[in-house]
Amino acid sequence: MKEYAHSERWLPAYWLQAPTSGNQQAGMLYNVTRCIVNARACVCAHVALAVDQTADDGEIKLRISVGCTVGPVKEPQYLPPFVHKQKKWNYSRLINHKFNSNCCTVEIWGKASIGVYLWKHILNGETEKLQGGLVYYGNKTIDDISFNFRFGPGIIQSTVPSDVEFVVLVLNGRSKDKIAISKVWLDYLPLYKKLRGAIVLLLGDERCDNDWLLPYMKSRGGILNAAFMVYDSTLVDNIEFYQWPLGVAAYRKFPHVLPEQVDTTSSRSHVCNFLGTLYENSSRHVLMSVIHTWGLEEDCIILGRMKWQPLETKETLETYIKALLNSDLTLSPVGMNTECYRIYEAMSLGSVPVVEEVVTPGHCDHNSFNSPLRLLKEYGAPVYYIKDWRGLPTLIQHDAQLTLEEKIERRISVIQWYKGFKDTMKRKFVGVVKNKFFIDVPLFT
């Protein structure tokens, strides 16, 4: 193979945890082959990682040199673990790469309320109200990356920073009108002349019809380095597409609940709850029939409505939160998708979700062994899965036999799992941002 181009550039923020300390690592040279999407006229790139310094704490600094090659490249016999091509990224390794202080700024522009879940619930960021509530702004530094969060109706293409270099754009792709708005944003991105990298976090279609996004991906000649997607999309490959949790209904003002704010020790008045919309011809009517047939109205807090309501009043939100706090099981029949806001809302308050394990119609993954709800199953969520609501009476009978001490232990376990899950999603998000923006960016000058 012919080497026809070569470039060398310092990456001052790129660090690798050394497997051993001392000078044993100094002078070692790793030769690996890695595809770089944006390298000019390159099929693949030959990357030499040379150890130049060994720090006192056992970390080593690397010099990276890149040479383009033409033609197919075989996988090398040995790859250092941090660059080994694998189905799942080890986000803990990415998150531990140290960046120089204040080296990087990433904008997060929220055009869907799932951006509030990302900022407040996952990244634990705060916001201030600006321009009379037209804009909410927050800043938070995580692993030496300065994140600027902007959200609200005042966020339009002409009011965000025009000199943006790296952006995470939070979009809504649930309906044709929302997709049209999202496309306007994506089509506008090339007009930001200093833009070097873009990632989308997408509230995707509930039937997983998200192919409209494909032309915008860099692998298809587009501008997006990566996409986070809600629901069990078959596009998810952990290379360019990453799965993201639906989270709580931030658009309904569901609060960011801290573990210490939840009463886990008091008796709860009811065994279970279900507050939701009774969609026509859905299994939710089967659930209501089971509750009525078995006389479970006294054991469960039940409040059904025939029409979906997008917004909560202060009173209805308080009623919903009290129902979760006053019962140990939260029933979650499928709606338009198996994944539902109430799964995450229940866990935040120590109530175990009882989830109907059914893949809904559409193009969501139904072939994987862990579908539906791949993400929750991957991380071992403390959830009861039920195939048929006619099995609910047996589950309630079993739960009624638990002692208060056992229920308290379970509540604490559920809350702590959810906290750990959010921390994991934080590491995943920041890890992908680091990898796509500050490692995968072209090294050619």
Q: Please tell me the least confidently modeled range out of 26-40, 66-80, 223-237, 321-335.
A: 26-40
Q: How far apart, in whole angstroms, are the C-alpha atoms of residue 135 and residue 156?
A: 10
Residue 44 has pLDDT above 70, yes or no: no
pTM confidence score: 0.77
Fold match between domain 104-244 and domain 251-423: yes
pLDDT at res. 289? 92
pLDDT at res. 342? 96
Q: What is the pLDDT of residues 72-116, one digit of tens each?
A: 333 333 333 333 333 333 444 444 444 444 468 999 999 999 999
Sign of CA dihedral 261, 265, 269, 273: positive
What percent of the chain is modeled with pLDDT above 90? 68
Q: What is the pLDDT of residues 158-185, one digit of tens each?
A: 999 999 999 999 999 999 999 999 999 9
Please report which confidence band the pLDDT of residue 305 belongs to, taking 50, 70 and 90 as the band edges. Answer: low
Q: What is the pLDDT of residues 248-259, one digit of tens each?
A: 999 999 999 999
Fold classification of 251-423 is Rossmann fold (3.40.50)
Q: Please tell me the least confidently modeled range out of 63-67, 293-297, 350-354.
A: 63-67
Higher-scoring residue by pLDDT: 295, 7: 295
The structural domains of the chain, with segments of one domain joined by +, span 3-85, 104-244, 251-423
Q: How far apart, in whole angstroms, are the C-alpha atoms of residue 118 and residue 110?
A: 9
Residue 60 has pLDDT above 50, yes or no: no
Q: Please tell me the least confidently modeled range out of 258-272, 296-310, 343-357, 366-380.
A: 296-310
Mean pLDDT over 374-380 rounds to 97
pLDDT at res. 211? 97
Residue in the structure block whose two tokens are 């033609």: 71
Sign of CA dihedral 337, 421, 166, 65: negative
Please report which confidence band the pLDDT of residue 307 belongs to, taking 50, 70 and 90 as the band edges. Answer: low
The conformational region for residue 22 under phi > 0 = left, psi -120 to 50 = alpha, else beta, is: left
CB neighbours of residue 170 within 10 Å: 27
Residue in the structure block whose two tokens are 């929220």: 110
Please report which confidence band the pLDDT of residue 280 belongs to, taking 50, 70 and 90 as the band edges. Answer: confident
C-alpha torsion angle, residues 99, 100, 105, 106 (rounded to 10): 0
Mean pLDDT over 290-315 rounds to 81
Residue 219 has pLDDT above 70, yes or no: yes
pLDDT at res. 86? 32
pLDDT at res. 281? 76
The token pair at 215 is 């032309």
Cβ 436 vs Cβ 197: under 8 Å: yes
Phi, psi of 424 (to 5 degrees): -65, -40
The token pair at 325 is 């706090």
Q: How far apart, in whole angstroms, are the C-alpha atoms of residue 398 and residue 332?
A: 18
pLDDT at res. 103? 66
Cβ 165 vs Cβ 119: under 8 Å: no
SS3 track for 376-431:
HHHCCCCCEEECCHHHHHHHHHHHHCCCHHHHHHHHHHHHHHHHHHHHHHHHHHHH
Residue 290 has pLDDT above 80, yes or no: yes
Higher-scoring residue by pLDDT: 157, 13: 157
Q: What is the pLDDT of residues 27-43, one digit of tens each?
A: 333 333 233 323 322 33
Q: How far apart, in whole angstroms, are the C-alpha atoms of residue 37 and residue 43?
A: 8
pLDDT at res. 57? 42
As a whole number of Å, the end-to-end CA separation of the chain is 23
Strands 104-110 and 145-151: parallel
What percent of the chain is modeled with pLDDT above 70? 74
Q: Tell me, what DSSP letter sits at residue 368?
A: S
Residue 243 has pLDDT above 60, yes or no: yes
pLDDT at res. 368? 86
pLDDT at res. 440? 61
Question: Which CATH number applies to 104-244?
Answer: 3.40.50
Q: What is the pLDDT of residues 381-408, one digit of tens each?
A: 999 999 999 999 999 999 999 999 999 9
Angle between helices 392-400 and 283-293 (to 10 degrees): 50
Mean pLDDT over 365-386 rounds to 95
Q: How far apart, in whole angstroms, are the C-alpha atoms of residue 373 and residue 302?
A: 25
Average pLDDT, the chain: 80
pLDDT at res. 282? 81
Mean pLDDT over 425-444 rounds to 83
